[in-house]
Amino acid sequence: MKIVHYADILLKSMKKINLSRIKNLFRYLKKEGVQGTKKRLLECIYDGAGNRMPPVAKVRTFQSAWECERLELAVCNKPKVSVILPVYNEFAFTYQCLASIVHAADKAEMEVILADDHSTDLTRQICSVVSNLKVVRSEHNVGFLRNCNQAAEHASGEYLFFLNNDTQVQKGWLDTQLRLMEEDPSIGMTGAKLVYADGRLQEAGGIIWKDGSAWNYGNGQDSSAPEYNYVKDVDYLSGAAIMIRAGLWRQVGGFDVRFAPAYCEDSDLAFAVRKAGYRVVYQPQSVVVHYEGVSNGKDVHTGIKKYQLENTKKLYEKWKHEIQRACMSGNNVFQSRERSKGKKVILFVDHYVPMPDRDAGSRTVYQYVRMFLNQGFQVKFVGDNYHKSEPYTQRMQQMGVEVLYGAYYQKHFFTWLEENKQWIDFAFLNRPHISIKYIDYFREKTDIKIIYYGHDLHFLRNRREYALTKDPKKEKEAKEWEEQEFYLMRHAHISYYPSQIEADEVQKIDPAIRVKAVTAYAFDTFPKNQQNDFAKREGILFVGGFAHDPNQDAVLWFVKEVYPLIRKERQVAFMIAGSYPTSEIEKLDGKNGIIVKAFASEEELASLYASCRIAVVPLRYGAGVKGKVVEALYHGIPVVTTPIGAEGIGEIRTAACIVEEVQSQAAGKAFAAQVVSLYDDTVRLREMSIASQELARKQFSMDAVWEKIKEDFEKTFPEGEGKKDENVG
């Protein structure tokens, strides 16, 4: 098999060889080492068609300004952002840059300042073809750096965006950087993903090595590759497209004039921003096409470009202590590209990128990812289907998570893991049918500590279903799941399950297994108290995804055995909200007050929780803490459920009504009576609503979860614990 694989690589690579690529090969070997170069080679072979060509207008030569189509920038009396374009001649590039700003039509309130460094070409006539452009013109040529500093003095925005004139911006170039700044006050400066006109990547943030040399991370690569498309801290950002808080700019004194006329002033600014206590962050959603070298060429030995070498030495001397402390050697791209030196790295493995508005398991994983980010971890994520599912993948990337997806990683994930395992501290494996594919590699080939999160005990759930249905297929499935789940737990360093009942069940069978009850839900924010005048609310609500069999059974049983009895007493609507409904459930829509909503966004769900009187969770089998119950508590809506629904949640009787028996012939009648009784008692409903939110804050906050598990990430497990034993499983 390996011979066939390598033959395939050789054949494909032969077809792509040319002189330029041979030169690049030696350049990458010098900068990124064998492993980095190998990955570039494999990406070129398997994903070479992945470059994304942005909509770039051709830069043409103008003999007169009157040949240009008139551009109209928006009038802005109170700008949020001051966009500063430093220019010296090159009218055609400046005009196309301004045209791209107009066509991108980003929503941020901005003023555009043309910093004209005493141009002698058509730039002097630019106001005749561009309306609402603010021009600051130098009386003589002062050079790039001083030109920027002078123009910034005329800016009135809360933020300054320095944009080279040899660029063309893409939609979202400004709004996405502004959003990062507005949402996170710790960020002082952001920068764009720079691409060449053919779509290849120019830079995804910059790296400063321990010797003071610099590297444009990802140069020449596929700009759509996952490693270049997540928000991250970086050593520096190219000054071609950066945003900084105006107050911070003034605080650090702008660009340091010791780097005049140009080069390394952007790297120096990044170090100054960090010294002032702020972060420097790369925003991949801000895409800017950059025609590198238009103004000063590419030869570092002549003209202005020669200052690049001189200023590199100045930068190193100025920041030598910081560079030696925080930067790394050139063979450690994994950590250097995101300044993760000293940070713990955790790799999540699940079936797909979490979709928290579609299923409870996804919500768990999503919240746990957020918790680890809040605790300062670098988080990596791989979904076993390797799909780039939107908008979910992008949401994770914007949180700062590197998500591995696509053809390259599907073929080479274990190669990636082998190359980077020394930098990864923990693996967080989810679900038995996914974890079983990965756990042996982690145990046998790496020293990574393995946390296995089962979400629920599948064998226990199937046993309970068998007890209810007597279906021999469920008995067989229970035995198969038990074998697989205990194999995983015996090979992990520690295992988590949402309820103490599950943890006790595991230890009852094998007391040697390290297992801990850890809630499946970790909220970082809580809604304000909802409308507590329950007399103004209407209806009964069920929320749950129907890819999960217990939810199908629960709704069908409720509709058949419970809801008709409720309708005899009260003409109330029954709202069913859940993804992937079966045809049997879809057919319920519109019958006798039943409303089926196949998918509800997070905003729509919040509205349903706030407008309905009661949530019902009529589960007859299952295992573990139920997400639908926790979510109802979180939103402050009183719950009527069963012992299965209430399982694993301490003190739940203060916030929910539990109908003890749901497997007898009288179960439907008992459940209906409880709903009707509670539905009319608005005083009790209000009391339960308050109690439910108090319970949620106490048990399901990120702080509470972290307090329970933090020791597992701060200590070293004893040698041999969780090690593979050929005689188990």
Q: Are 289 and 56 in contact, with CB atoms under 8 Å apart?
A: yes
Q: What is the 3-state secondary structure (H, E, C) of 260-326?
A: CCCCCHHHHHHHHHHHCCCEEEEEEEEEEEECCCCCCCCCCCCCHHHHHHHHHHHHHHHCHHHHHHH
**Average pLDDT of the chain to the nearest whole number:** 89
Unique residue bearing structure tokens 């809801």: 563
**Interior/surface letters 618-627, b for 16+ CB within 10 angstroms, e for the rest:** bbbbbbbbbb
pLDDT digits (tens, 9 = 90+) for 80-134: 999 999 999 999 999 999 999 999 999 999 999 999 999 999 999 999 999 999 9
Q: Is a pLDDT exceeding 60 seen at residue 624?
A: yes
Length of the chain counted residue by residue: 729
Q: Pick from 457, 360, 504, 451: which is nearest to 709 by CA?
A: 451
- Using DSSP, state whether 154 is helix, strand or coil: coil
Question: What band does 351 get if pLDDT is binned at 50, 70 and 90?
Answer: very high
Q: At what angle do helices 458-469 and 549-557 cross, to 10 degrees?
A: 40
The total of other beta-carbon atoms located within 10 Å of residue 583's CB is 6
Single-letter residue type at 565: L
**Identity at 495, one-letter amino acid code:** S
Distance between alpha carbon 193 and the CA centroid of its chain, in Å? 17
Q: Return all residues near 308 (Cβ < 8 A) that are at least 6 apart.
A: 263, 264, 300
CA 100 vs CA 103, 644, 671: distances in Å:
5, 59, 63
Cα 666 to chain centroid, rounded: 48
Report cis status (omega within 30 of 0) of the bond before 564.
Answer: no
Return the pLDDT at 10.
Answer: 56
Q: Note the pLDDT of residue 676.
A: 96
pLDDT in tens, 372-397: 999 999 999 999 999 999 999 999 99
Residue 263 neighbours by CB distance under 10 Å:
25
Confirm if 336 and 209 have CB atoms less than 8 A apart.
Answer: yes
Residue with tokens 């949620």: 696
CB 613 within 8 A of CB 467: no
pLDDT at 122: 95
Of the candidates 457, 584, 628, which has an alpha carbon nearest to the alpha carbon of residue 465? Answer: 457
Residue 553 has pLDDT above 70, yes or no: yes
DSSP secondary structure string for all residues of 115-146:
EE-S--SGGGGGGGTEET-EEEE-SS---HHH
- What is the SS3 assignment for 403? strand
The CA distance from 478 to 464, in Å, is 9
| Average of per-residue pLDDT across 264-280 | 97
Q: What is the pLDDT of residue 41?
A: 59
pLDDT, tens digit, 9 for 90 and up, residues 645-680: 998 888 899 889 999 876 667 888 999 999 999 999
Q: What's the pLDDT at 3?
A: 45
Contacts of 148 (CB under 8 A, 6+ apart): 84, 86, 115, 162, 254, 255
CB distance 478 to 459 below 8 Å: yes
Q: What is the pLDDT of residue 537?
A: 94
Mean pLDDT of 574-600: 91
Quick check: helix, strand or coil at residue 6? helix
* CA 582 to each of CA 548, 551, 620: distance values in angstroms, whole numbers, following the listed order: 11, 11, 18
Residues with Cβ < 8 Å from 47, sequence gap 6 or more? 222, 225, 406, 407, 408
Q: Which of 293, 238, 239, 285 is nearest to 52 (CA)?
A: 285
pLDDT tens for each residue of 513-544: 999 999 888 998 888 756 678 999 999 999 99
Token pair for 714:
């701060």
Q: What is the DSSP letter of 519?
A: -
CA angle 381, 489, 720 (to 5 degrees): 100
pLDDT of residue 12 exceeding 80: no
Give the confidence band of 35 by pLDDT, cuts at 50, 70, 90.
Answer: low
Residue 138 predicted with pLDDT over 60: yes
Angle between helices 360-374 and 392-399 (to 10 degrees): 20
- Average pLDDT of 243-253? 98
Residue 122 and residue 63 in contact, taking contact as beta carbons nearer than 8 Å: no
**Cross-sheet strand order for the sheet of 449-453:** 402-404, 378-383, 345-350, 426-430, 449-453, 494-497, 515-517
pLDDT of residue 726: 39
Buried b (16+ CB within 10 A) or exposed e, 662-684: beeeebbebbbbbbbebbeebee
Q: Which two tokens stand for residue 150?
A: 């002078």
Rounded Cα distance, 274 and 312, in Å: 19
pLDDT cut 90: percent of the chain above it: 71
Predicted confidence band at 720 (pLDDT cuts at 50, 70, 90)?
very low
Question: How confident is the model over 294-308, as a mean pLDDT?
Answer: 57
Alpha-helical segments (H) within 510-626: 549-557, 563-569, 583-586, 602-611
State pLDDT tens for residues 445-503: 999 999 999 988 889 888 888 888 899 998 999 999 999 999 999 999 999 998 888 99
Distances (CA, A) of 222 to 44, 201, 379, 389, 391: 8, 6, 22, 19, 21
Provide the token pair at 125. 């006539």
pLDDT attached to residue 468 = 84
CA 218/CA 97 separation, integer angstroms? 24
Give the pair of three-digit tokens for residue 599: 């998918």
pLDDT score recorded for residue 464:
86
**C-alpha–C-alpha distance, residues 192 and 174, integer Å:** 9
More confident residue, 385 or 35: 385
Mean pLDDT of 182-209: 96
Lowest mean pLDDT among 402-406, 595-599, 617-621: 595-599
